[in-house]
Amino acid sequence: MINVAIIAGGPSAERGISLKSAQTIASHLQSSKYKPYTIDITPDGWAEMSSGKKVDLNDFALIDEDGQKRQTFDFAFIIIHGTPAEDGKLQGYFEMKNIPHSACGVLTSALTFNKQMCKDYLRHFNIPMAESMIVKSVVTREDVEREKINPPFFVKPNNNGSSYGVTKVKEWSELEQAISLALRYDHEVMIERALVGSEFSCGVVRQGTEHHVFPITEIIPKGEFFDFAAKYEGASQEITPARISEELAQQCKRRSQFLYQTLGCRGMVRFDYILENGVFFLLEANTTPGMSEASIIPQQAKAYGWSISQLLDTVIEDCLSNKQ
């Protein structure tokens, strides 16, 4: 029996989504093979949710009431959205403790969490992406125009996910308020040209030397864009497989596998795009995609012919046997 610590919660605005993802994982792990323990990370410490037992971070083990018996773990399934997981901090801890985990490594996680740095890196590989700039305070219209960005454009936290603090700016009069909102979630704010087209998402999972590229999901938000409500509260229509030609589907799948390998990913990673003028422009790489019942990766796995249990088993087995 493999003891799996599902690492969930965290201090970010995405805490609630993380806990929903953890529930899905715990309920779908094969009971004959895995024994799940959900570890909730809070400002008061780390604790196992069902028993309330605290975690001793010196050796990542649960402490019994008598302080003697200690439950250890064979694997950590990281499902915290936002810091301290998507930015690589938790990965560093588990790698120092030599505990295999499900996520990308420290460098990949930190790079992809910082949207602008990831874009700067990927430009060397000619990946199509929208024009963007970073600000750390409210700026003027002239500052933005200087970077050849004009409305409509998005203003969003540079280091965050789930579309918290994101505004689609249509008029220059909205700029100051949009930046102020984004600064509530991060000290860096990205201003990015609004791509014109439909949104798509493609998940990739590694299994040894093979890469499973899932069917593409077409995202049709009810609002202006794929915001929090669209992602997690059903305010969008998600169609898997996407209603696109085989040629376009192959373009998206090839790009997704290339990005997965180029960024040095492992585990489940989802790549989000806007299809503009027949070209898939990368929005972001999500190295800890949601695993709630409403999430895209479970939908894609089902369309691929996998159960959630098979998906989780593939991730765990690959990360146990191939740590790099």
pLDDT of 322 reads: 75
Spell out the residues 6+ positions from residue 8 whose beta carbon is closer than 8 angstroms to its own.
18, 19, 21, 22, 38, 39, 40, 41, 79, 80
Q: Which of 38-42, 76-80, 90-94, 318-322 has the lowest mean pLDDT?
A: 318-322
Is the per-residue pLDDT at 230 higher than 50?
no
Q: What confidence score (pLDDT) does residue 229 get?
A: 47
Annotated binding site for Mg(2+): 272, 284, 286
- What pLDDT does 223 receive? 62
Mean pLDDT over all residues of the chain? 92
Find the range with the poorest average confidence among 157-166, 174-183, 296-305: 157-166
Residues in the chain: 324
pLDDT at residue 231 is higher than 70: no
pLDDT of residue 68: 66
pLDDT at 236 > cutoff 90 = no
- The pLDDT of residue 233: 52
User: At 20, is the pLDDT very low, low, confident or very high (cuts 50, 70, 90)?
Assistant: very high
Active site residues: 14, 162, 295
Q: Residue 64's pLDDT is what?
A: 83
Alpha-carbon separation of residue 308 from 29, 220, 296 (angstroms):
8, 24, 12
Q: What is the pLDDT of residue 211?
A: 97
Higher pLDDT, 64 or 191: 191
The 8-class DSSP code of residue 173 comes to G
Can you state the angle between helices 308-321 and 296-304, rounded to 10 degrees?
A: 100
Q: At residue 177, does pLDDT exceed 90?
A: yes
* pTM strictly above 0.85: yes
- 3-class secondary-structure state, position 310: helix
Q: What is the mean pLDDT of residues 215-239?
A: 71
Instruction: Give me the pLDDT at residue 316, please.
Output: 98
For residue 12, the model assigns a pLDDT of: 78
Instruction: Give me the pLDDT at residue 293, please.
Output: 76
pLDDT at residue 226, rounded to an integer: 46
Domains (range + CATH), the chain = 2-102 (3.40.50.20), 110-128+196-321 (3.30.470.20), 132-193 (3.30.1490.20)
> What is the full DSSP assignment across 34-100?
EEEEEEEEETTEEEETTT-PBEETTTTEEEPTTS--EE--SEEEE---STTTTTSHHHHHHHHTT--
What pLDDT band is residue 67 in, cutting at 50, 70 and 90? Answer: low
Asked which of 127-131, 176-180, 227-231, 259-263 is least confident by mean pLDDT, the reply is 227-231
